[in-house]
Structure 1
Amino acid sequence: MAAPRRDTRGIVDAAELFARVRFRRHEPAEPLRPYLEHYWLIDWDLTQPYASHVVPHPSVNVVFQRYAGQDPFGEVAGIGLGLFTQKLEGRGRVCGIQFRPGGFRPFAPGRPLSALTGKRLPLPEVFPDSASAVAAVLDPDDERARVAALDAFLLDLDPHPDPAAALATALVDRIRADRAIRNVGTLAEAEGMTVRALQRLFSAYVGVGPKWIILRYRIHEALERAEGSEPVNWAALAADLGYADQAHLVRDFTATVGVPPTSYAAGHGPA
């Protein structure tokens, strides 16, 4: 794995978020890199409440959280199917682990990933011996110590390579990188698999189907383009992303982000 991604895909109004919070990504320890995208750390000290919005990636996240007026806690967040909104106020801290698609299964081998989709479970419900990890991750002010605590938490879970999980990760990487993959049949044919076998693999090891992932990465790219400095030709972008027409892109974007792409590009994001 290379250094953590620097793109803002999935973050709604990234410039506004970065102006209000300290957001950083860190690389995990080398043995964990086949399974993880990165760690993400956020700290804030706000005088006014702020709502952040994210169009989730097809990834499981383990999230350690401290909010003003609440006890710290940890959660396992399955893939979010819709726009995720989090209200931030006062002072707080979040330390997250973003797994690669397919990368969580080796840490919880008996749990089909579809059982987590759309859910946020208390950390002890998935990892019963995790009570001490919350303080170990959230207490240090030195972020290197927080990263070390995240490494220690995951290494103690002793993940073992799983060829099916690795295949699922590779297939999702291919969808993300190859715009020619515009439907599930194309991917199945390219991999010498049946559509049904592909769907079963993704359900068990990723948590959503390959069609959903194809559509989600299209929305991520459209969101990033809408935030750029150049005007967007939405009809051309729709064709480039494999949509039948502009109306289909507008429908998917609006259903996911909450506003039409032209409104979003004009600075009118979700409330």
Structure 2
Amino acid sequence: MAAPRHDTRGIVDPSGLLTRVRFRRHEPAEPLRRYVEWYWLIDWDLPEPYVSHIVPHPAVNLTFQWDEDEGPPYGELTGVALGLYARKLAGRGRVCGAKFRPGGFRPFAPGVPVTHWTGRVLPAHEAFERAGGDTPRSVVAPAGDAERVAALDAFLLSLPWAPDPQADLAVELVEHIRTDRAVLRVGDLARDRGRSVRSLQRLFSAYVGVAPKWVILRYRIHEALELAGHRRDVDWAALAADLGYADQAHLVRDFTATVGVSPAAYAQAVSQAPAA
């Protein structure tokens, strides 16, 4: 499996976030890399509150957070978020998260389809009994990254998970969608893999938590968001055609519905945002 990527795909106004927090990614222990993409750690000490916005990946996240002025550490499980995800950061705090590979969470909770978690944020102990008690503090309290990563490894390795060929297939298919811009339609993907559209839909429902068409659309929006955040001269009509949209209006509609503003308005806002 590849090492954690360093891109900011999915982060709305990444410079605004990264000038306010200390953000890192680390690899999990080797046995976990099959299904856990990376650990992400954030620390902050803010003079005023800040709300981060994310256009989420089609992935489940397990997080342990400590808002030091608010109370003790706690854990949360976040299923695939269907809309824009907002998180308020204030005072001093830290988050230690495990981002499961899209399609890779089911082996850790094999009893239910991943759609069970989609759109939900719930206390981690409701998904994993062992995530309660002292576990959140054991993960976020250490000062060093190595100790926090070791605590995340220890927790996940303690869970009774096992390899699942269907999860392996789901992980591979989502990664193919993410990396191959030629994948624009579910029917084309199904034909390339010698499967029916319905079989892909069942697999994605059980193992990814969203439909394959949703995954294709989400990665299109990620690409448009990335370009809008770095360039003012994007040819939106050409990009819409490149991403498989019928026309520019359809791309603008999906981008606006997901991010909350049009691509052009987002590009202008990011370019004019003052440094923190």
User: For the residues of structure 1 that align with 2:263 and 2:187, how far apart are their CA atoms?
Assistant: 28
Q: How many pairs does the alignment contain?
A: 269
Unmatched tracts of structure 2, length 5 or more: 272-276
User: For the residues of structure 2 that align with 1:182 and 1:134, how far apart are their CA atoms?
Assistant: 41
Secondary structure of 2:181's partner?
Answer: coil
Secondary structure of 1:154's partner?
Answer: helix
User: For the residues of structure 1 that align with 2:111 and 2:242, how far apart are their CA atoms?
Assistant: 40
Q: Is the 8 A contact 2:232 2:267 kept in 1?
A: no
User: For the residues of structure 2 that align with 1:36 and 1:124, how far apart are their CA atoms?
Assistant: 19
1:76-87 to 2 correspondence within 5 Å?
76-87=77-88
Q: In the alignment, what sits opposite 2:92?
A: 91
User: For the residues of structure 2 that align with 1:71 and 1:257, how far apart are their CA atoms?
Assistant: 32
Shift of 1:72: 1.4
Q: Is the 8 A contact 2:51 2:88 kept in 1?
A: yes
**Which of these residues, 182, 195, 201, is aligned with residue 203 of structure 2?**
201
1:1-271 to 2 correspondence within 5 Å?
1-67=1-67, 68-131=69-132, 132-229=134-231, 231-267=233-269
Shift of 1:227: 1.0
Instruction: Kindly provide the amino acid, as one letter, of the partner of residue 259 in structure 1.
Output: V
User: For the residues of structure 2 that align with 1:216 and 1:37, how far apart are their CA atoms?
Assistant: 18
Q: Percent identity?
A: 64
User: For the residues of structure 2 that align with 1:70 and 1:256, how far apart are their CA atoms?
Assistant: 32
Unmatched tracts of structure 1, length 5 or more: none
Shift of 1:40: 0.3
Instruction: Kindly provide the amino acid, as one letter, of the partner of residue 39 in structure 1.
Output: Y
Q: Is the 8 A contact 2:13 2:270 kept in 1?
A: no
Q: Structure 1, residues 39-94: CA drift from partner, whole Å, max 9, x if none?
A: 00000000011110000000000011112313311011000000001111100111
Secondary structure of 2:51's partner?
Answer: strand
Secondary structure of 1:103's partner?
Answer: coil
User: For the residues of structure 1 that align with 2:44 and 2:154, how far apart are their CA atoms?
Assistant: 25
Instruction: Kindly provide the amino acid, as one letter, of the partner of residue 98 in structure 1.
Output: K
Instruction: Report the aligned-residue RMSD.
Output: 1.1
Deviates more, 1:260-269 or 1:202-211: 260-269
Deviates more, 1:107-116 or 1:66-75: 66-75
Instruction: Kindly provide the amino acid, as one letter, of the partner of residue 241 in structure 1.
Output: L
User: For the residues of structure 1 that align with 2:105 and 2:270, how far apart are their CA atoms?
Assistant: 35
User: For the residues of structure 1 that align with 2:161 and 2:65, how far apart are their CA atoms?
Assistant: 24
